[in-house]
């Protein structure tokens, strides 16, 4: 097998008159718009961070409530079982 050389031809691109003038008012407007977009993005990030923190807090609170409910249910079940045993033992007399 023979190695083949690949050559690329890179030409120069000539630019003619452009519609954009570097220090035009339009460029300043774009900078202002970009700054406003940055501020809006920062606000959105802060809002999302706050929402995520609240959601995590709510999840933690729900876990605590669920645990407490399960413990209560176990206590109630134990009392019902004890009551049933006492009732059955009283019936035998």
Domains of the chain, by residue range, sit at: 39-93
Torsion sign, CA atoms 11, 12, 17, 22: positive
**Both structure tokens of 56:** 């995590």
The alpha helices in the chain, defined as continuous H runs, are 25-91
pTM: 0.49
Please tell me the distance from the alpha carbon of residue 68 to that of residue 61, in angstroms, as a whole number. Answer: 11
**Both structure tokens of 8:** 């690329």
Per-residue model confidence as pLDDT tens for the chain (93 residues) = 455 555 555 555 555 555 555 555 555 567 777 777 777 888 999 999 999 999 999 999 999 999 999 999 999 999 999 999 999 988 776
């Amino acid at each position: 097998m023979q190695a083949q050389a690949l050559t690329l031809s890179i030409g120069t691109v000539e630019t003619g008159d452009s519609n954009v003038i570097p220090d035009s008012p339009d460029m300043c407007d774009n900078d202002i718009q970009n700054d406003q977009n940055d501020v809006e993005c920062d606000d959105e990030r802060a809002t999302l961070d706050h929402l995520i923190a609240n959601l995590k807090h709510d999840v933690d609170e729900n876990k605590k409530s669920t645990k407490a409910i399960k413990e209560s249910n176990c206590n109630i079940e134990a009392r019902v079982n004890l009551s049933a045993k006492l009732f059955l033992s009283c019936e035998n007399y």
